[in-house]
Amino acid sequence: MTTNLRLALRSLAKSPSFSVVAILTLALCIGANSAIFSIVNAILLKPYPWPGSERLVYVQTNYPKVGGRASGLAIPDYLDHRAGVPSFEESALITGFNANLSLDGHPERLYGLSVTPSLFALLQTPAALGRTFTEADAEPGAPNAVVLTDGFWRNRLGADPAILGRTLRLNGAAYTVVGVMPEGFYFPSLRAQFFVPFAITSELRTETERTRQWCTMLARLKPGVTPAQVQPELDAVHRATRERVPQLRDQYAVTGYGSIAVGFLAENVGNVKSMLWLLQAGVAAALLIGCANVANLLLTRASARQREFAIRSALGAGRAHLIRQLLLENLVLFLLGGGLGLLVATGSLRAVETLGVGNLPRGFGIALDARVFAFTLLSALATGLLFGALPAFSSTRVAASEALKSAGARTTADRRQLGLRSFLAVAQIALSLMLLATAGLLVRSFLRVQDESPGFDRAHALTAALSLPAAKYPTAEKRAAFVGQLTARLQAIPGVTAAGVTSALPFAGGNPQGAYVIEGFDPGPNQPNPNGMIRQVSPGYFAALDIPLLRGRLLQPSDALGRENVVVVDRFLAERYWPGADPIGKRLSRGDSATQGRGTWTIVGVVGTIKHWDLAQDVKKETIYFPYAQTPNNAFALLVRTSAPPAGYINAVRDAVLAVDPEQPVFDIKTMEARLEESLQPRRAPMLLLVVFAGVALALAVLGIYGVLAFSVGQRTSEFGVRMALGADRGAILRLVLRQGIGIVAAGLALGLLGYAALSSLVASQLYRVTSTDPLTLLAAPAVLAAIALAACLIPARRATRVDPMTALRTE
């Protein structure tokens, strides 16, 4: 084996130009595959850094009869599931806990989680310093405790070794540090910086809490149990609840109220999964095209070695020995290409980061790890065996006596190789067309999404988030007063044309919603009450986003606590429940925490409908705008419309907030344009990468057909000389060669269209307002490919017309 390997390396060294071109082609294609696989691996395949993470599931509220599924769960349902589902090995309850922290006189905003102590047992991860929470920490009235992540401890607190027992003031309250998690630990993402205990009070255990699905339940299934298998147990818990709590029976009957278990990983990456697999398939197609080019190079090299093989065969070397030697040479070539491909993958990942792939779910963990190395090795071996075997078998089929006769070699071996080359070129054209058509459709779809109107003016709008500490702003009056002072200061900034606040920014991730009752409207037997998106906004909100007023009036500063309860609704709601009629003066009611149970609300205005989280989704639910002054909560977002580019107003907005409260941090400051661009990122980055790979595939396919015709022209030089000597003009020779190229291109295009048609359903799910059989794209892609391929055919065709008949005949 060592001798054969040494011979293989020596043989490759004898043809340095061939070896360099082949290795670089393989490095480019295998490296691109490894880079994309590292993204797929980090986001879709790699387990979380907790033991048994593949068995983690979210337990979410489900409304099958009204087609809805909420991401949260009510606390009483959590308690029932924890006690009544045998397939759960452990479970925990989680909710967000954003906090203001002031160190060294500089207020900042932290993102944390309020968790039941069982979370750390569920994740099977103890603290690296100190301890995690005990059940005593979560008792109502217990001293405040906090567990820090390693990153926050090191980066913000200087890795203070005496951190245990130190007090941090979060939202104005003192919290004692009891533990620090291990390095590399995160949950559920790198965003969380600390954890505090979730105290389930007696009020939170009451049956009225079942209408508030505001918490997240996480559970670890017992070994061998799947989410589908746990469903009957969840259903049994809800049947028992329905029998035990009669007042819930109507809700169960109307909505099918229940719970569903969904995989933790699947839920977190579901919106990018299909696109990433499509991207991996695209780069795999580019790899096959590149390998076909290398196979053509190997065939050319093997053709030049026909006499060598014949002599070795005549001296006693069997065909099996020759095949093994050639296959070993080719495998070495592909493995060298794979090794260099790892360097290409490293550079490619740096380039890919500029496209924002790191912003995708779990995108922070993209790296070349052992799984990626194994994938690269397997890619090199698999392609080496497949595309290395074709030239090895083809070039050793000629008998020694025939190969030693130059004419016989041309009519047998070269003709066979030409057929194999043509087959590879057809496959390259077909794969390239499939990639080109897919990339074209994704580009058209993305442009349609990008041009989609959100229903408001995205330009010149600056946004930011705030959260008022409950200890400092315990009453609705204090919160309303803070917002009133702040919006007045913001509107006084030169260049600011409008300023307002909202409980949930468009395209910022949050989407509070809930049921409501329309006075005089009967939803019908066994039908649920209307359900819409709920927002608390100040009067300046609509002007800050330039949302048009369609009927009635907007909210006003006089719509305050103690005054008539009023709301503004969007056109979607008005047309849904009062088509062709005037909704002004109609009344609706809610009785939950969002409206502080304030009863009935009168509609005073109708505004345009806007999109809240995805430009590619049509609006399917109405929005109700309550006055912030009548329903003030602690967390809200600012909206400022400016006459100049909004990024220039960031410092002025910060100063306005600090002028009202010097300890109040402002966070998540972004322009509305930036938020919309971020919402497009799961579409943009994979689309751009697929376009790049389609371009590479097109170039490789064109080189492939050029190589086939160049080889054919080289082998038929004497034939062209004879034809021209017998009177054929240059035009006839040109048409002869082009006819061969056109046949290959036509076959490749036909095969590519058939292949795309078979897989078009996979592409359809990624498109917006463009069909997977869009005629413009499916005509343009073959036309572009055909034009470029035929242009490449002209080069060897023109070379054939320059053959000197006398020189060709003399050589023959």
Which residue is listed with tokens 């939202």?
A: 171
Which residue is listed with tokens 């197609």?
A: 285
Q: pLDDT band at residue 69, thresholds of 50, 70 and 90?
A: confident
Query: What is the per-residue DSSP string for 136-162?
Result: GGGSTTPPPEEEE-HHHHHHTTTT-TT
The listed range with the strongest mean pLDDT (41-55, 481-495, 578-592, 735-749) is 481-495
DSSP state of 42: I
> Residue 606: CB partners within 8 Å, gap ≥ 6?
549, 550, 551, 552, 568, 569, 570, 571, 574, 583, 584
> Residue 275: CB partners within 8 Å, gap ≥ 6?
682, 683, 686, 766
* Phi, psi for residue 94 in degrees, rounded to 5: -135, 145
- The Cα–Cα gap between 783 and 629 comes to 61
- The Cα–Cα gap between 660 and 657 comes to 5
Q: pLDDT band at residue 422, thresholds of 50, 70 and 90?
A: confident
- Examine the pLDDT at 150 and tell me if it is beyond 90: yes
162-213: per-residue pLDDT in tens?
999 999 999 888 999 999 999 999 999 888 999 999 999 999 999 888 878 8
In contact, 32 and 348? CB cutoff 8 Å: yes
Residue 36: the pLDDT is 93
* CA-closest candidate to residue 549, choices 607, 590, 603: 607
438-479: per-residue pLDDT in tens?
999 999 999 999 999 999 999 999 999 998 988 889 999 999
In contact, 510 and 504? CB cutoff 8 Å: yes
Q: pLDDT band at residue 595, thresholds of 50, 70 and 90?
A: very low
Residue 807: the pLDDT is 62
- Compare 373 and 400 and report the one with higher pLDDT: 373
In contact, 93 and 75? CB cutoff 8 Å: yes
- Examine the pLDDT at 410 and tell me if it is beyond 70: no
681-701: per-residue pLDDT in tens?
888 988 999 999 999 999 989
Residues forming beta bridges with residue 551, ordered by sequence position: 606
- Examine the pLDDT at 606 and tell me if it is beyond 90: yes
- The Cα–Cα gap between 766 and 21 comes to 36
In contact, 34 and 342? CB cutoff 8 Å: yes
* Phi, psi for residue 315 in degrees, rounded to 5: -85, 5
* CA-closest candidate to residue 71, choices 434, 406, 497, 513: 513
- Compare 506 and 390 and report the one with higher pLDDT: 506
Weakest-pLDDT range from 43-52, 145-154, 393-402, 462-471: 393-402
314-366: per-residue pLDDT in tens?
666 666 777 777 788 888 889 999 999 999 999 888 888 888 888 888 888 88
Mean predicted confidence (pLDDT) in 769-783: 94
- Examine the pLDDT at 594 and tell me if it is beyond 50: no
91-115: per-residue pLDDT in tens?
999 999 988 887 766 778 899 999 9
**pTM for the structure as a whole:** 0.85
Which residue is listed with tokens 């490789």?
A: 700
Which residue is listed with tokens 């809490």?
A: 209
Enter the tokens of residue 301: 């090299």
Is the bond leading into 197 cis (omega within 30 degrees of zero)?
no
Residue 308: the pLDDT is 67
Q: pLDDT band at residue 306, thresholds of 50, 70 and 90?
A: low
> Residue 740: CB partners within 8 Å, gap ≥ 6?
709, 712
The single-letter code of the amino acid at 73 is L
- The Cα–Cα gap between 730 and 573 comes to 74
Residue 613: the pLDDT is 87
Residues forming beta bridges with residue 603, ordered by sequence position: 567
Q: pLDDT band at residue 412, thresholds of 50, 70 and 90?
A: very low
Q: pLDDT band at residue 593, thresholds of 50, 70 and 90?
A: very low
Which residue is listed with tokens 């074209």?
A: 440
What 3-state DSSP class applies to 105?
coil
Mean predicted confidence (pLDDT) in 546-567: 94
Enter the tokens of residue 388: 């290395």
- Examine the pLDDT at 722 and tell me if it is beyond 90: no
Q: pLDDT band at residue 703, thresholds of 50, 70 and 90?
A: confident
- Examine the pLDDT at 511 and tell me if it is beyond 90: no
First-residue to last-residue Cα distance in the chain: 41
Q: pLDDT band at residue 411, thresholds of 50, 70 and 90?
A: very low
